[in-house]
């Protein structure tokens, strides 16, 4: 029976252990707090019980999976593991400290995988001094439900280690996309535009929180608007990822974190988990908790025509909207498409993997590059050029793929 050693018993680690155990692997969870690891195993058992109650898991399979999950003791106990997955907090020093005791214990054929969402796999490998064995294995929350895993190769990652990691994820029923070791990989980089450009629209007084969310749901077919989604993820978490990607990408203006998010996080207004973020959650439906300071915006004929072309070709199910709704939708969508195209230009991942990652990792209705093909690459580039001429920071400069 293959074995995975999971470092960290939190939400991600316990989810990974559950998925592995259901797929026939033994999952050993290591945590600095043994009692917490045991309590999380109890929670996994309860989750398996719910699957049985809903008729989604036979009792015998539930019992077999539960028997395959246990808490680990010393790092020496991981000598027989076929794969190690680190799932501790998103901090480089914490990850290095968690993995280091296991490096000399694991068999040389066992990949050392990090579940980081945005930190450098190459830097982690360098600090661990085992550069060929370290790979990225980024799961999405909740792990048992989300089908995507990003497998990330650093400059010195051994091809065999990458392949073993890919095969493990596929064996657990996951869809795998491959990415190079760049900040945010695919999903957390390309998704920045959905949040950041929406924040800029709010700050410019173009539309309110609920109006932007509604425009992107209705015209774009997104399941949740950007402000609803930030509140669900946690404003502190989303802001932290934005900062990490921006810093590692050497602070490009298009990826700059926004002061509104920073101010909300500093004030403890973190979204649903604190009861207040962009929305107030003391009643249903939630009401906007961030006011918009409405201002008129420059909407010359050239911009209006470029917006209309993108909005009409890209809208979900032929949806129509007001001039403001079209502008919100087209501007945010063009930003997402451009970031995906820039990632493609720089070889982060293949075109198909970028589209699959965004559909499965963020529930986008279409992959951004296939969306661009549907609209017309040059139509997208034309809107970006108009917006770039009106912008002072150059953040809309179109990617080469869009102008080819």
Active site members? 117, 138, 150, 188
Max distance between CA atoms of the chain, in angstroms, equals 69
Count of C-beta atoms within a 10 Å radius of residue 275: 14
DSSP 92-153: HHHHHHHHHHHHTTS-TTS-EEE--SSS-HHHHHHHHT-TTTEEEEEE-SSTTT--EEEEEE
Q: What angle do CA 294, 295, 296 make, to 5 degrees?
A: 130
Q: Are 166 and 172 in contact (CB under 8 A)?
A: no
- Residue closest to 311 by CA, chosen among 247, 198, 303: 303
What is the phi/psi pair of residue 279, to 5°? -125, 160
Q: Is the peptide bond before 142 cis (omega within 30 degrees of 0)?
A: yes
Q: Are 17 and 69 in contact (CB under 8 A)?
A: yes
Q: For the stretch 40-61, what's the b/e string if a residue is b when 16 or more beta carbons lie within 10 angstroms of its beta carbon?
A: bbeebeebbeebeeeeebeeee
Task: Work out the number of other CB atoms within 10 angstroms of the CB of residue 283.
Answer: 7
For the chain, what is the radius of gyration of the CA atoms? 22
Sign of CA dihedral 175, 179, 183, 187: negative
């Amino acid at each position: 029976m293959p074995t995975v050693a999971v470092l960290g018993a939190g939400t991600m680690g316990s989810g990974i252990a559950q998925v592995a155990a259901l797929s026939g692997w033994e999952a050993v969870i290591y945590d600095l707090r043994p009692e917490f690891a045991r309590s999380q195993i109890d929670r996994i058992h309860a989750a398996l019980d719910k699957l049985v109650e809903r008729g989604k898991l036979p009792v015998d399979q539930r019992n077999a999976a539960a028997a395959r999950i246990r808490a680990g003791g010393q790092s020496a106990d991981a000598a027989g593991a076929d794969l190690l997955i680190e799932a501790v907090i998103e901090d480089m020093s914490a990850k290095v400290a968690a993995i280091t005791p296991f490096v000399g214990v694991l068999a040389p054929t066992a990949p050392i995988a990090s579940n980081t969402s945005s930190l450098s796999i190459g830097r982690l490998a360098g600090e661990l001094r085992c550069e060929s064995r370290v790979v990225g294995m980024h799961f999405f929350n909740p792990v048992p439900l989300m089908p995507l895993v990003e497998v990330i190769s650093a400059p010195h990652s051994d091809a065999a280690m990458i392949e073993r990691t890919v095969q493990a994820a596929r064996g657990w029923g996951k869809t795998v996309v491959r990415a190079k070791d760049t900040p945010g990989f695919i999903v957390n980089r390309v998704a920045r535009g959905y949040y950041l450009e929406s924040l800029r629209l709010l700050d410019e007084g173009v539309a309110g929180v609920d109006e932007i969310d509604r425009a992107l749901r209705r015209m774009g077919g997104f399941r949740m608007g950007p402000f609803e989604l930030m509140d669900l993820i946690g404003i502190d978490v989303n802001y932290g990822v934005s900062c990490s990607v921006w810093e590692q990408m050497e602070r490009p203006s298009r990826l700059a974190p926004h002061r509104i998010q920073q101010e909300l996080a500093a004030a403890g207004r973190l979204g649903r988990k604190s009861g207040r973020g962009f929305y107030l959650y003391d009643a249903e439906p939630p009401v906007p908790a961030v006011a918009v300071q409405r201002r008129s915006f420059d909407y010359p004929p050239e911009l209006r025509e470029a917006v209309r072309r993108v909005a009409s070709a890209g809208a979900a199910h032929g949806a129509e909207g007001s001039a403001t709704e079209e502008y919100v939708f087209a501007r945010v969508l063009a930003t997402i498409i451009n970031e995906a195209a820039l990632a493609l230009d720089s070889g982060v991942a293949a075109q198909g993997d970028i589209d699959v990652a965004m559909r499965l990792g963020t529930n986008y209705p279409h992959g951004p590059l296939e969306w661009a093909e549907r609209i017309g690459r040059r139509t997208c580039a034309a809107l970006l050029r108009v917006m770039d001429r009106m912008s002072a920071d150059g953040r809309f400069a179109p990617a080469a793929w869009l102008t080819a």
